[in-house]
Amino acid sequence: MRIAILISGRGSNMAALLRAAAQPGYPATIALVLSNRADAAGLAVAEAAGVPTAVVESRAFKGDRAGFEVAMEAELARHGVQLVALAGFMRVLTEGFVDRWRDRLVNIHPSLLPLFKGLDTHARALAAGVKLHGCTVHLVRSGVDEGPILAQAAVPVLSDDDEASLAARVLEQEHRIYPAAIGWLAAGLVRIEGDVVTVAAPAASGALANPLPGPAPVPTNRSAS
Ligand code: GAR
């Protein structure tokens, strides 16, 4: 299956997908890396890996989102793209684009959706005091950060975490689950029924919990002893 990766910046998830696609037997080819910004650092990484790149500057369209998407889709068509993977692509797509690419448009988001949609997910997770945080790969629907969930990974939130340490722990998992989820889609292992996705792939490792459940501490009653 021919995949386009859409980026706006660093492109570490894109790099993880490129590494996976370079492995023998991976069921997808990265046909194009497209950025909406010419200064996206990820473009150089893709070029170094010999992957075709394109830039469609969103700024040049001055708010004409549909026009911007028509230009992007011309690039997608030119490269025979069958599936689009958003990887830190920081533009909201129109309902028209989302509908045209239904079930062929995937996103990675740095939270356990449906918690913390939108931006600044790590700061908001810390402020909310959650004990588990993580990342989600999902099919894109018209609501921002909404759509059937393909894969999630959870990480503990530690008491001395700051935004950077938590983001790094989550990003490591993003790099693991995004290539896996794209691989399942490309291999035809995914069934989508309404909001629920079933993957006919070997189960991932067991559930994560933090703090680890154990026996409840026994209260001591000193005066009775
Ligand atoms: C990633 O953490 C990704 O989950 C997030 O942006 C970062 C991009 O990093 N995406 C979003 O917040 C989309 N709502 P990368 O360019 O190194 O892959």
Q: What is the pLDDT of residues 170-190, one digit of tens each?
A: 999 999 999 999 999 999 999
Q: How far apart are alpha carbons 212 and 181 in whole angstroms? A: 27
Mean pLDDT of 12-28: 97
Q: How far apart are alpha carbons 105 and 95 in whole angstroms? A: 12
Burial 80-100 (b: 16+ CB within 10 A, else e): ebbbbbbbbbebebeeebbee
Burial 24-41 (b: 16+ CB within 10 A, else e): eebebebbbbbbbbeebe
- Could you tell me which CATH number the domain at 1-101 has? 3.40.50.170
Mean pLDDT of 21-26: 96
Angle at 38 between CA 139 and CA 2, to 5 degrees: 40
Residue type for position 204: A
Query: What is the atom index within ligand 1 of the atom nearest the CA of 110?
Result: 4
Is the pLDDT at 202 greater than 80, yes or no? Answer: no
Mean pLDDT of 98-121: 98
In this prediction, residue 4 carries a pLDDT of 99
Question: 112 near 152, Cβ under 8 Å?
Answer: yes
Class of domain 108-209 (CATH, top level): alpha beta
Ligand 1, residues at Cβ distance < 6 Å: 7, 9-13, 87-88, 108-110, 171, 174
Mean pLDDT of 21-47: 98
Give the percent of the chain with pLDDT over 70: 91
Mean pLDDT of 33-52: 98
Determine how many CB atoms are found less than 10 A away from the CB of residue 186: 19
Omega before 27 within 30 of 0, i.e. cis: no
Is the pLDDT at 159 greater than 50, yes or no? Answer: yes
Nearest CA owner, ligand 1 atom 2: 110
In this prediction, residue 200 carries a pLDDT of 87
In this prediction, residue 201 carries a pLDDT of 73
In this prediction, residue 219 carries a pLDDT of 72
Mean pLDDT of 44-58: 98
Q: What is the pLDDT of the chain when averaged over all its residues?
A: 93
Domain segments of the chain as ranges:
1-101, 108-209
In this prediction, residue 190 carries a pLDDT of 93
Task: Give 33 Cα–ligand 1 centroid separation in angstroms.
Answer: 15
In this prediction, residue 222 carries a pLDDT of 61
Task: Give 160 Cα–ligand 1 centroid separation in angstroms.
Answer: 23
Mean pLDDT of 112-137: 97
Instruction: Tell the burial category of 2 from Cβ atoms under 10 Å away from its Cβ (0-12, 13-18, 19+).
Output: middle
Query: What is the atom index within ligand 1 of the atom nearest the CA of 108?
Result: 4
pLDDT band at 205 (very low <50, low <70, confident <90, very high): very low
Q: How far apart are alpha carbons 161 and 155 in whole angstroms? A: 12
- Catalytic, 109? Answer yes
